Structure 1
Amino acid sequence: MKKLEVSTFLLRIVLGISFFVHGLVKFQGGIGNTVGWFDSIGIPGFLAYFVGGVELIGGIALILGLGTRVVSALLTVIMVGAILKVKLAVGFLGTAEMVGYELDLAFLVIAVFLATNGSKLWAVDQALFNKEGKN
């Protein structure tokens, strides 16, 4: 195994687990709460279902290595929105009331990397589509 493939696999797994948990929490806590919060900050509430769904289902897909580039591109858009709309105003480290955008930025960069490069090591995509030689 090549070091780059193993490193990319680890990024995919960690990003997948992280977003799965974020999505799960949105639905476990009642997606209506997230809908209301979205509305309160000027984002259409129905987008909470999209964001939560992409985080939950996309997280599972990343863990499995299924549609890594597409899921990562969607997560990139979500993270740009989160940083610009919510976190940028509180700064990199945040305030006593709210964390900053440092973790969001790390997730964004990982998502951009995976959207650009893919991740084929131990990926369901490889078994389903036999993409030898492609990422």
Structure 2
Amino acid sequence: MLNKFNISGWFQSIEIPGFLAYAVATVELVGGLALIMGICTRLVSALLAIILLIATLKVKLGVGFMGNGQMAGYEFDLSLLAIALYLVLSRSYLWSLDSLLKSKA
């Protein structure tokens, strides 16, 4: 599916190895579902924070904070990065499936 849109080629054009397109897609899809369910929240949030940081630095930084009219800026990416970092550093497991699994073990 990624080859249809040549995402790996686009990754290579911004000097990121093309095979990482598959890793990013997997983390975003499977990791997003895991975050919704509350499974491996800290790990997934750390991976998403790394992805967001690289995306902001490689793609969005040149466009500016609010964008340039052609492309959105990095304000939304920064807010998602802050949320991901909060989930990494937070120790609250009240509503997660991780807390249920840990309490039964």
TM-score (norm 2): 0.90
Inter-partner Cα distance in structure 2 for 1:66 and 1:119:
13
Q: What aligned pairs does 1:1-135 form with structure 2 within 5 A after superposition? A: 30-32=1-3, 33-130=6-103
Identity of paired residues, percent?
Answer: 56
Q: How far, CA to CA, are the matches of 1:47 and 1:97 in structure 2? A: 26
Q: Which runs of 5+ in 2 are unaligned?
A: none
Aligned-partner Cα distance in 1 for 2:33–2:91? 16
List alignment gaps of at least 5 residues for structure 1: 1-29
Q: Equivalents in 1 of 2:55, 2:91: separation in Å?
A: 23
Question: Greater relative contact order (Cα 8 A, min sep 6): structure 1 or 2?
Answer: 1
Secondary structure at 2:10 match in 1: helix
Q: Normalising to structure 1: TM-score of the pair?
A: 0.71
Query: How big is the alpha-carbon RMSD for the aligned residues of Structure 1 and Structure 2?
Result: 1.4
Runs ≥4 residues deviating over 2 A: none
**Structure 1: distance between partners of 2:91 and 2:28:** 18
Number of residue equivalences? 102
